[in-house]
Structure 1
């Protein structure tokens, strides 16, 4: 069951646009470590979720999402089988806070593709751009209004309740002469408990009430009267100054009924463009799954065609790359460190039942993010594919190559041939032979591919190029940049240009490292 939180009975129902009865105010603090590094669109694909944003809880169900702006403190509560896919880096112009999104089924492959982009798994970058363009077209403008914080002391709670009950009443009319407060005392206490003066608090509440009424379909003149304004023109000026849009524009953008934003049809008749993964040599074993369409997977010198519903394990240490056809989608569903599993090259892809598709999505999100049910198994997706896989019996050479790649990616061993051979307990000539036979390339090319795979993964997590360069042992940044460009065909700076300095994917990675105790390079 999803975690529940006590509700403060003294707190009145908030006027949050588009959320109606699904929103409650919670007095539960959220850890500062959960503050988002970049905006995130939380997409519920199965079950439901409670998402706590600052002190406001939102309930979303299958087919709904919640967009939350960067800098917000967020905690997601999920049941054992609930599936929420977080897509970071989807900005919405002029929006802040959080708002609900209705997600038609046709957007699901784009959401999963965008998740793969965020992990740095796929070469392209179209899906998040498409989601962002659609949200920009239908999303709110001028920010998302939030309910003003309620006072905590009993006497000021009474003042706030009176202001909410009668929006047109003056502050002096609420307090009355008998209270014995000076205007300065009232102002000081209100600012201390709510962060706003009484006038600011009352105006914010009036704007929330007006926005709620506009979203429910009321005429501007009626809304002006109900929110305590004498004229519609005066109300319109105040509303625009507070929100950045006119009352009519707010009504049109928020939609009728519950006010949720609804995405239109995705581009190109839901056909995700052709894509590919970048050439990599993993420091861990990685399980990949074709969710839609077909793909050609190259592992070393071997090539394998996969169709929708199939999965396989890519062994650590062996160069691999994947070509995806138009409308196709391939995703990583989990990983294992090389010292916990031994696997040879795959022979026959695993067939995953259609009924288990969302179980694999659930496993993928649990493996690569912090958005998952409490105590979920981060290796469940990998282990499922590995158990069903048909692969070659791993030889000593395969084990040597995968363990060495893992050690290099975590910085356990230096990268010269002599040092690697000494670490592996082999002669240099013997190690060169293993790399040539099992990886299909020279030791120099292989070691560079291992290092640049680790480098690109770190850059996608927001680590600076200079930091990555030093970690890999380069004396000068230009030398690292040249090696990176020779491997990937682009500069480290171009990867960083699309990645925030401290991205959400990087935060997920650091959190997983604290709990797992080992590094990964996937």
Structure 2
């Protein structure tokens, strides 16, 4: 029996859309409570504190990083043909796709409130933020010298982004607009509000307000007063069915199950291709170099994972059949698989579904090559390296109970790569994941044991075709807040790596 849902409220660092595919969910945003019915969604702006409580049997798709073109608390009626786009946007936020994701924007809706930006956590930056709010037209450098003496503006900017997700100027603009909205609701004069929140002209204030709220101050005040304002609508700026995509070549520390929900996809494992027809699914074994090609019009979704320490798995020789996403609208198969995926990757998507259900279904329906002790050792080694990427091979071998030469042989036999090439791909898989958690290249380089940043950048470029500074990996860490999960993957240094394999 699964435990009852006990999700704590989370402070959103980015806007999110909570879309209810099946059932109903109560979404509390600040002091307001919303009941979101089936085939509807609720848009919540960054800076809001949100608590999502799905009813038993409900399926909720939390889509983070939604474009800001509506006021917070806007309701959305979701059409049948829009669900694949929302699923694509969710899976893109998992960080496995190469290239741009599928940005979703919410346009229109009632202006029920504009959220304040997330406050900084450190005392110095909190004092800076308070000073800038109290004196919005003052120079940032002046107050930085007062609240954080000895800090450079560059240091303050970097730490401010890490703590709030916004630059200082973007944070201040959002804080000004939030304060302005409070006075707009009180029917204050527009010019008076503009000067109060630090703008020299009404025109500049209107532009800044429209950029943040998606409507002018006058439109916002009218919408605020109109309790019967129309529902917002979804706009997909880059629909998943209009272009092909691929995953970046990687070595996973876990076994991962993937599902061709729409169209077909090609899974490459150790240079060999397995074509997944629509509705089919397969398992990517931990430790095996892999990539996926997703043609135009197709949608591939990860549906679950298991740690490599749970044992070895052979390569899929015959895919499992889960049914296509098309049945999402007309039947239960697609809904059950989507619920399994959400249970594996979120805490609020399907609270009464076991997080291993999707992976177990794919494993039960697949035909795999016979696995042996070498497969299990490779999977454990991959899991070990993903947690302690800078660990020396000799130390890993000793902890795994084998010789270093044994690891060289197993990696070569099972993956077709030398151990050095495999370790580089494994490290760079972790490095790209860290970029998706907001880590800086210099920090990643140091954690991976590189003596100099240029050496790390060269290794990264060999695997990913671009330097870590130029790849422009989106920060996916804040997505976990929208999903009900905050903590990034734990990182372990070589000094205490011997304790990680059993975790």
Q: Same fold (TM over 0.5)?
A: yes
Could you say what secondary structure the match of 2:455 adopts? Answer: helix
Q: Report the CA distance between 1:466 and its aligned residue.
A: 3.0
Superposed counterparts of 1:159-178, under 5 Å: none
CA distance in 2, matches of 1:471, 1:202: 45
Distance 1:341 1:384, change over 3 A: farther
Whether 1:319 and 2:289 are equivalent positions in the alignment is yes
- Residues 65, 100 of structure 1: 8 Å contact kept: yes
The residue number in structure 2 matching 1:369 is 346
The residue number in structure 2 matching 1:91 is 67
Whether 1:35 and 2:11 are equivalent positions in the alignment is yes
Q: Which moved more, 1:367-376 or 1:63-72?
A: 367-376
CA distance in 2, matches of 1:370, 1:253: 33
The residue number in structure 2 matching 1:182 is none
Superposed counterparts of 1:32-431, under 5 Å: 34-93=10-69, 95-128=70-103, 131-132=104-105, 135=106, 138-139=107-108, 144-145=112-113, 245=216, 259-263=230-234, 271-353=241-323, 354=327, 355-374=332-351, 376-411=353-388, 414-416=391-393, 418-431=394-407
CA distance in 2, matches of 1:342, 1:250: 60
Q: Which moved more, 1:463-472 or 1:250-259?
A: 250-259
CA distance in 2, matches of 1:314, 1:378: 18
- Residues 389, 430 of structure 2: 8 Å contact kept: no
Root-mean-square deviation over aligned CA pairs: 3.7
Whether 1:441 and 2:414 are equivalent positions in the alignment is no
Show structure 1 runs of 5+ residues with no match: 6-29, 148-199, 209-236
- Residues 257, 304 of structure 2: 8 Å contact kept: yes
Per the normalisation by structure 1, the TM-score is 0.67
Whether 1:476 and 2:458 are equivalent positions in the alignment is no
Distance 1:496 1:368, change over 3 A: farther
Could you say what secondary structure the match of 2:41 adopts? Answer: strand
Per the normalisation by structure 2, the TM-score is 0.69
Q: Report the CA distance between 1:301 and its aligned residue.
A: 3.3
Q: Which moved more, 1:277-286 or 1:480-489?
A: 480-489
Q: Report the CA distance between 1:74 and its aligned residue.
A: 0.8
**Count of equivalent residues:** 396
Show structure 2 runs of 5+ residues with no match: 116-179, 189-205, 491-498
Distance 1:491 1:270, change over 3 A: closer
Q: Report the CA distance between 1:508 and its aligned residue.
A: 5.7
Q: Rg larger in 1 or in 2?
A: 1
Q: Report the CA distance between 1:318 and its aligned residue.
A: 0.5
The residue number in structure 1 matching 2:203 is none
CA distance in 2, matches of 1:455, 1:270: 26
Q: Report the CA distance between 1:277 and its aligned residue.
A: 0.6
CA distance in 1, matches of 2:183, 2:14: 30
Distance 1:486 1:201, change over 3 A: closer
Distance 1:498 1:339, change over 3 A: closer
The residue number in structure 1 matching 2:431 is 455
- Residues 462, 496 of structure 1: 8 Å contact kept: no
CA distance in 1, matches of 2:181, 2:271: 68
CA distance in 2, matches of 1:4, 1:460: 28
Distance 1:245 1:205, change over 3 A: closer
Could you say what secondary structure the match of 2:68 adopts? Answer: coil
